[in-house]
Each structure stands twice: as structure tokens, then as C-alpha cells.
Chain A
Amino acid sequence: MTDATSAATGDKIRCDACPVMCYIKPGAAGACDRYANHDGQLVRVDPHVILEHTVSHGGRVVPFQATGDWDGKIVHAPSTFVTAIGAGTTYPDYKPAPFIVSSEVDGVDMVTVVTEGIFSYCGVKVKIDTDRYLGPETATVRAQGEAIGHVTTSEYGSQMLSLGGVHHLTGGSKKEGRVTCDTLMDLSNCKAVELAIDGGATVVVQAGQAPIVNGATEERMRVGCGSATIGMFAKQWHGKVDEVVVVDDHITGVLSEHQAGKLLDIADTGIKMKGRRSTPGRYFQVAEPGTGWGGTDIADPLSILGPFDRKVARPGLTMLMVSTTGEHAGYYVLDEALRPIETEMPADLEFSVARIQENCEPALCTVLFMAGAGGSLRAGVTDNPVRLTRSVKDALTRVTSGGAPVYVWPGGGITFMVDVTQMPAGAFGYVPTPALVAPIEFTLKLSDYAALGGHMDYVRPLASLKDSAEIRPMPLIPGRRA
């Protein structure tokens, strides 16, 4: 480990990695561009500088310390796992990966090929847990006014965005490429980004955090639509209340009319719903989408009801109105004029509302970085790139990104996805191409590495890194695994 330390002076720190002894402001780097002040801590930040300096040169490796905060899952403690962050690379990647490190683990010579891939074919898939309307499918998603992706098909309880990709990175204007690259990097580094959707909402997305839609923070995912909620809870309501309305932006459910109510012989109540009836007890469009009850724009749930049918309804009839997330709920009793009057909710109904809430998980944004390791990157690992692909597919080679597990797509090439919250802080960089720089590690047996045409001449034992000035512990960001 390097002996670089820092003396804090106010918010600035004094780096003593070299005799220049730079004073470094928070968020800034020293004269070398290698050390920076990250929230008052001195950290190594090599990945960004390489191309800008235009000279291809050797890089450095940045291993995790197995002790301390790293959970050591990849290689068992007390070994050190080497990540690609800061390993450095050049573009195009025609030379061997900057460092190919071997480490002895359980008597097996393991090899970790460390490189930082430059990915111009890359993007992020964003899952936003919300039922609020973000925008129509295929609508353009913008950051700072530039098109950086689009809305794709919704998933259950979540809206999906597909951002980045080669067309936005390099196919549009220079500004579009730069903004796309910046946005992808920020999202991948778990920073908050504001996105505006054409014909839809503005949403603040941050991996691992609740989405903020048009300024309102989303709390919970709904357990299901209104109709599904009726189906799930009908039995629990049976005998405790005469009518239940589950208010939802998509489908609002009515217990007495719903199939689930009919099966329990729940009597008609004479309720009259606004909106368009789909099938019995299921209503579309009871209100406009919004940030009120159940993703609608309503603040008073009674506004979606017409007058009760005088021939069916009776005074004293009880009704529960609840949103699909359980965030809003009210209990009503019909008066002599058959008007619903809000009354204190009985304990067992409060319990059922709490149960709905409990079944609604916290709403989060999830960011998966997705990229393909091109032939040239693979050539940095082996003389015969396709053998690396085959080795990955045969599960002989384990692929990780910043030490985090990845999902490798079936089919050709090495196209992988990784949850950015599982990666160490600041794992992503960029080059002005524009393209993202992301760490990628291939771990395999030394013998397998030789067999697939590895650059054996460049393999260096892990021990050779330990006392070099090339090692730093990964900076910690709360909420991150590493």
C-alpha cells in the first residue's frame, strides 16, 4: 500500500504521495491527476487520464484489501482481489491489458486479467419502481435537453428506461454524445440524474434510491392493481365491512361487484363508480394520472363515486376506500341521506390497510450497466479472442466488473450486465471519444489461461504488487457493499 497520506486543512487536504505536496480541494485532483480529494479522503483516480494524455503507457493496478470492508467473496481472505479500476488502458486496445496478475489461491494458480474496457457500445437499463405515468412507450428520454435514450416496455409495478447505446454516444451531435456519456457515468457511479421524458414526467433517478417523479418522492410499489388487491384481500375483509374500493390509476377495484366478492356472497351495496367499467368490479380511468391516491390525481376519494342507488343502499352501510399502496385510506358510513361520512376506522380494517402497505415494497431505482466486450478488449487478454468468449460460456472463466458479479448474455460475444450498486465507488470513468471506461476482470486457472493463448509473458505474481505504490484501498461510500 502506498504511504500517501494527507493532512486535512479545512476542507482541503495536503497530499504527500510525492514531494510536490499538493493542496487538493474536495472533488479536485492533484497536479499528477492520480490522487484526488474525495470527501476529505485522499484516493487514487487514475482511470480518466490516460487518453487525454495521448500517450499510451503502462497502468497501475488497484487491488482491494481483503481485510476491512471488502467482504472477500471473490477470492477468499486473506488474499487480495485485484480489480480493474485504475488499471488503465489505451484506445484502441491493441496492446496487452495493462497488468495481468497472478495470485496463488488454495494451491491453484489463479489469474486475474485486469483491464479497463472502453465501451462505446454500452448503456444502462433503468428500472423505476412506480406506477406513475412517466411517458409513452418509445418516448425520448432527455438529460440537459439532449436525447439519451427512450422509454421501453413497463414491467410489473415498474417503468423501464433504456439509456445510452452507441447511437446516442457516437451517432448524434457532439453534445448529445457528451451528455449521454456524462449521464451514463453518473448513473453508473450511483449519482442522482434528472431525466425529462418527452410528453411525460421529469424524474430524478439514482441507483438504490427512491425515484422522484415531478418533484414527489415515490415511497412504495403497489402490491397489485386495484382489482388484484381486491382478489388478494377479499377474504380478510369479508364480514368486517360491506364495501371496499381500491383506488388505482390503472384498474380500480370494487369488492361487492368483483368476482372475488361474488364468490364470498357479498351483497350489492348500490355503489356507483365513475370511470369506464372493464369487467364487473373493475374500472379504468376513474381519474387522471397524478400523484394523489393510487397514482391518480385525486385528493378526495369520494369524488370518484356517484350517488348510491336508493333502491339498494341503506343507511349504516360501511365502506373502506384504500389506495393500492395503502398510503391513503378512509372509512365511511352512509348517513340517513345515503351520503358517505368519514368515520374513525375500526382496528381490524386498519390492520388490513397496514397489510397492504406491508406488501408494498420500497420503491427504488435500479441501474444495470450493460456492455459488450469487443474483440479488441478480448485481445488484451488473449492472442485468440474467441477462446476467451468460449471459456466464459463454458464457465471456466468468471467475469466480474469491479469485483461484482455480472450476468453474461447467452449468444455471441461477451455482453454482460451488472448492478452498479454492487460495484465500488467511482468505478466508472470515461474517455472523450465519448465512451465509458468500466472495469472488467476475467478470472480463470493459470493453466486454462495458458491454454487459451494468454499473454503469459505479462503475468506477474500478486506479491509483486503488494509493496508497490500502485495499491489503494477502495474509497467507501455509505450504502455500497464494498
Chain B
Amino acid sequence: MSRLPQIALLPGGKRLHLQDGPIDLVVEADGSEDEMRAAYRAAAQRFVGLLDELCEELALLRQAADSRTCRLRGAVARRMHASVAPFAAKEFITPMAAVAGSVAEEILGAMQGAAELDRAYVNNGGDIALHLAPGEQFSVGVMDQPDRQGVMRTMLIHAEDAIAGIATSGRYGRSFSLGIADAVTVLAKTAAQADAAATIIANAVDLPGHPAVLRCPANEMQVESDLGPRLVTCEVGELSATDVARALAAGADCAQGALAAGWIEGAALCLKGKVATVGAARFDTAPSRDRHGRARDSLMQA
């Protein structure tokens, strides 16, 4: 029996759910009925076989990226590499750091190519690719910790902001983090760039050698982790207010650098209930504690 991805409309009939192996996408397109159908058809078509494409080059994708050359062939794989390459000159990073955002971007691209849409998003487990036609906007909810109900704050993203990617990385995500951030949410020009940068900034929110931080080799937990024997954060105990501020400052420094280089448009860094923001005044929207987080626009939990 051949493996088939799950392709189905979610209850309500408006959102599309695409799942294959570790890829899990929630897609929504706004536009006329016909355009929406065309977009979803294109998304589904592009989705079939995408995971196989990636897996063909998986071994190479799991190796440290080379900042100067790219030996990868697939479109998504090359996008992954391109997004992490700017960081690769200075530190260890593999193209896998941008896999979620790159896949989201690929599917959104297929939809944009097939239909005229007012708005659309492809949410890949919190790494989101956005499309906004001129004059449109999205309201995005940001959560610091998934175990708190409700949305920490919301922000509005307008078409003219030229932000097409939002990504969140941190200890509560699916991948391991070298840092201690609960969550780092990054806005960037593309979802792949946002994804790579969120990983790097979340790694930078750290307190090296702090006794309350428990770390284990990544490959002890996941045998084939692209991080190999590097120590990833397993548990973060009690931290003093000074420690929290110090870790956030280290992350904010890293985010400032990425902002100055033009790799990101803004970042919100969360640790133990404290938040530091870099760039984008949008993050300063008043915190929202609406339990259901139902804003006027469709809301995403990034």
C-alpha cells in the first residue's frame, strides 16, 4: 500500500489540512469561491511528493550548512540552505533549521501561482507563510507558552509591511533548542528566513553554564538529530529576574544583529513571562488575554 498524505478540509469547510510524515499544515485562503478552490487544488498538488523530494537529500540537509556553496538540488532544499547560509559563516546551523518555513513558503507559492487571493496563510506548526493583497491585513496572536490559555498579545500585519513570514522557535516547539527561550517569534520577508532566524535567536537566549539549566546531547534523544551530540536544553529550573534579563539581553543582541543585516523585520523573545522585542513596533500592541483569542480577523497562534 502506498503512503498517501492526508489532504482534507477541516471542520467548517474553510481551512485545508495537509499532513505527511512530520509535515503538518493548516492552510486558509480568502478570495472568491473559485479562486479558493483553485488555490487549494494547487496546494494539494504541490504537497504530494514534497516530503519525498526533501528526503532524497535528507543526509545533506542534516549537515552543517556551508555559507559559500550549495550542493542541494531541490527547490525547497535550496531555499532552506539560502535562509540559513547568512548565519552559517559564524555558527553551526543546518538547513533543517528552516525546513518548516521553507515548506510553508513552497505551498503558499503554489497557491499564489494558481489563484488571485485576497489573503492566504500556510501555517506549518507555527511557522507561517503569509500572502496579503494590497490593503489587506492579518491579525496574528502570539503565545509565549502553549500551556497558558489564550494569546499573549496580538499584532496586525498589513500588506505594506512586506512581511510574508512568521516563525516561532523555542523549548516548547517540535525541534530542540540550544537556548532556553520559551518562545522567540520572528517576522521576516519570507517564512524560510523567519524560521532560520527564530532558531538562531532562540539559541542565543541562553545562560551558559547556569546550574538551573539541564542539557543533554541531542542525539541521545533523537538518534539522527541534525544537532548530533550538541547539548540541547532539556529543562530550565527557577531563574532569578537578573538571570532572565541577562538571557533575554543576549538573545536581543543577536536579534538586533539580524535586524541590522536585513534578515528579519522584528522579533519578540519570551522567557519566564518576560518579553523583549526588537524592531517592529507591531509587537507593542496591547497584550490580549481574550481566552478564545477570536479577533476580528482569522487568528493564528504563531
Interface, chain A (partner B; CB < 8 A): 3, 12, 17-25, 28, 30-34, 51-58, 60, 91-92, 94-96, 431-434, 458, 467, 469-470
- Contact of B11 with A by CB under 8 A: yes
Q: A56-B10, A57-B10, A58-B8 are in contact. List 14 more A-B contacts (CB 8 A).
A: A17-B3, A17-B21, A19-B55, A28-B222, A32-B22, A54-B126, A55-B125, A55-B126, A57-B26, A58-B6, A58-B17, A95-B12, A433-B149, A434-B147
CA distance A24 to B19 in the complex (A): 20
> Does A469 lie within 8 Å of B21, measured CB to CB?
no
**Residues A18 and B3 in contact in the complex (CB < 8 Å), given A57-B10, A58-B8:** yes
Chain B residues whose CB sits within 8 angstroms of the CB of A20 once the complex forms:
21-22, 51, 55, 58
B4 at interface, CB cutoff 8 A = yes
Shortest beta-carbon distance, A23 to chain B, in Å?
4
B147 engages A433 (CB within 8 Å): yes
Residue contact B174 to A53, C-beta cutoff 8 Å: yes
In the bound complex, residues from chain B placing their C-beta under 8 Å from that of A470 are 6
Which residues of B are found within 8 Å of A25, using beta-carbon distances? 221-223
Q: Which B residues are within 8 Å of any A CB, using their own CB?
A: 1, 3-4, 6, 8, 10-12, 17, 19-22, 24, 26, 51-52, 55, 58, 123, 125-126, 143, 145-147, 149, 172, 174, 221-224, 291-292, 300-302
Q: Determine whether the beta carbon of A23 is less than 8 Å from that of B10.
A: no
On whether the beta carbons of A31 and B123 are closer than 8 Å, the reply is: no
In the assembled complex, 21 residue pairs joining A and B whose CB atoms fall closer than 8 Å, in A order, are A3-B3, A17-B3, A19-B3, A20-B55, A22-B223, A25-B223, A32-B24, A51-B146, A53-B125, A54-B126, A55-B123, A55-B301, A57-B10, A57-B26, A58-B10, A58-B11, A96-B11, A432-B145, A433-B147, A433-B149, A434-B147
Could you tell me if A21 and B3 are in contact, using CB atoms closer than 8 angstroms? no
Q: Give the residue name and chain of the B residue nearest to A60 (CB).
A: B6
Cα distance A57–B52 in the bound complex, in angstroms: 23
Complex Cα gap A46–B21 (Å): 12
- Indicate which residue in B10, B12, B146 contacts A54 across the interface (CB closer than 8 Å): B146
Among residues of A, the one whose C-beta sits closest to the C-beta of B292 is A92
When distances are taken between beta carbons in the complex, the residues of chain A under 8 Å from B222 are 22, 25, 28, 31
CA distance A17 to B21 in the complex (A): 7
In the complex, the answer to whether B123 meets A467 with C-beta atoms within 8 Å is: no
Pick the residue among A18, A23, A432 that contacts B51 (CB under 8 A): A18
Alpha-carbon distance A91/B143, docked complex (angstroms): 14
Question: Which residues of chain B are within 8 angstroms of A31 by Cβ–Cβ distance?
Answer: 21-22, 174, 222
Q: Give the residue name and chain of the B residue nearest to A52 (CB).
A: B146
CB distance from A287 to the nearest CB of B (A): 45
**In the assembled complex, which residues on chain A have CB atoms less than 8 Å from the CB atom of B174?**
31, 33, 53
Determine how close the nearest CB of chain A comes to the CB of B100; give it in whole angstroms: 11
- B3 in contact with A469 (CB, 8 Å): yes
CB-CB under 8 A from B22, the residues of chain A are 18, 20, 30-34
**A92 → B minimal CB distance (Å):** 7
Give the CA-CA distance A130 to B22 in the complex, in Å.
48
Bound CA span A54–B174, Å = 11
Residue of A nearest to B1 (CB): A3
- Inter-chain CA distance A34–B224, complex, in Å, is 17
CA of A183 to CA of B12 in the docked complex: distance in angstroms?
36
Whether A53 contacts B55 in the complex (CB less than 8 A), given A25-B223, A31-B222, comes out as no
Task: Give the top 8 A-B pairs by smallest Cβ distance, nearest first.
Answer: A432-B147, A18-B21, A19-B55, A32-B22, A23-B223, A54-B301, A31-B22, A3-B1
Q: Which residues on the B side are within 8 Å of A431 (C-beta)?
A: 147
Bound Cα distance from A277 to B92, whole angstroms = 79
Contact A57 B146 (CB under 8 A): no
Interface centre among B21, B52, B222 (most CB of A within 10 A): B21
Q: Which of A20, A32, A56 has the most CB of B within 10 A?
A: A20
Nearest Cβ on chain B to A189's Cβ, whole angstroms: 20
Expressed in whole angstroms, the minimum distance between the Cβ of A467 and any Cβ of chain B is: 7
Q: Are B11 and A469 in contact (CB under 8 A)?
A: no
Q: Which chain B residues border A3 with CB–CB below 8 Å?
A: 1, 3
